Amino acid sequence: MVYCILPVFRRIGVIISDEPRINEEIRVSQVRLIGPKGEQVGVIATSVALNLAREANLDLVEVAPTAKPPVAKLIDYGKYKYNEKMKAREARRNQTTAEVKEIRFRLKIDDHDFDVKKGHVLRFLNGGDKVKVTIMLRGREQSRPIGGVELLRRLADEVSESGTVEFAPKQEGRNIIMTLAPKGKKIHTQSEQRRRGDQSRAERQARQAARLAAKQEVQAQAAAAVNAMQSDQHHKEGSNAEDEN
């Protein structure tokens, strides 16, 4: 069982905490008890629940304080807190937010500049980032935005192996906007990279062990062959000595 000092602050004489009440901190007369394996024990006196917790070397934790009566569970609170901390840490590691890059085009762009900017778009997509492509319209170009839409569609077609259109071309003020998202590009989280590294390390160790075992087997076979030859030689020498006698 654990006893902890909860992080609290006082306001007008009221103690407020974001931690659940445990053990003797539970002041209600009755609780609806849940066993350590999730089984429903039922509504019992809090004092009885505390005795059950002590006998099982567990903690009585209030998990639903607003229920009538409050719901409490028998758990190892220290282990529970540790597991929750590990889950939160793993969740933070697994958070991957693709950054949105932006590339701007002029409507009147030559093929060379188009290819250069397309290369930037491909690099961003292959790196796992989304790309916001903006066609900037100037002067009379604003009266024929279809040219910008066609340019964006051309770009989408030419990068289709690396990205897909997440938001189709649309006009926003003087600009035409399109958003591309990575296609078939998995953004590896730190945990995935760590798992892949562990897997590769295990595979290398397995290969090394297999090579060592094969080498030892060859050495054992060679030693057995040498021993057999020496045994045959000794046998022949013994036979020759008997013949001479």
155 occurs within a structural domain: yes
Sorted by sequence, the CB contacts under 8 Å of residue 73 that are 6+ apart come out as 33, 34, 35, 36, 60, 61, 63
pTM of the model: 0.39
Same domain (yes/no): 172, 153:
yes
For residue 136, give its domain range.
Answer: 100-182
Return the H-helix or E-strand segment holding 34. strand 30-34
Domain contains 209:
no
pLDDT of residue 180: 94
Euclidean distance between CA atoms 90 and 105, whole angstroms = 40
Cα–Cα distance between 191 and 91 in angstroms, integer? 10
pLDDT (tens place) for every residue of the chain, 245 residues total: 554 444 444 333 444 456 889 999 999 999 999 999 889 989 999 999 999 999 999 999 998 998 999 999 999 999 888 888 888 888 776 665 567 899 999 988 999 999 999 999 999 999 889 999 999 988 888 888 888 899 999 999 999 999 999 999 998 888 999 999 998 644 444 555 566 666 667 777 777 777 777 767 767 776 776 676 666 666 666 666 565 55
Question: In terms of domains, do 68 and 106 share one?
Answer: no
Residue 47 included in any domain: yes
Instruction: Express each pLDDT in 60-70 by its tens digit.
Output: 999 899 899 99
Q: How far apart are CA 196 and CA 202, in angstroms?
A: 10
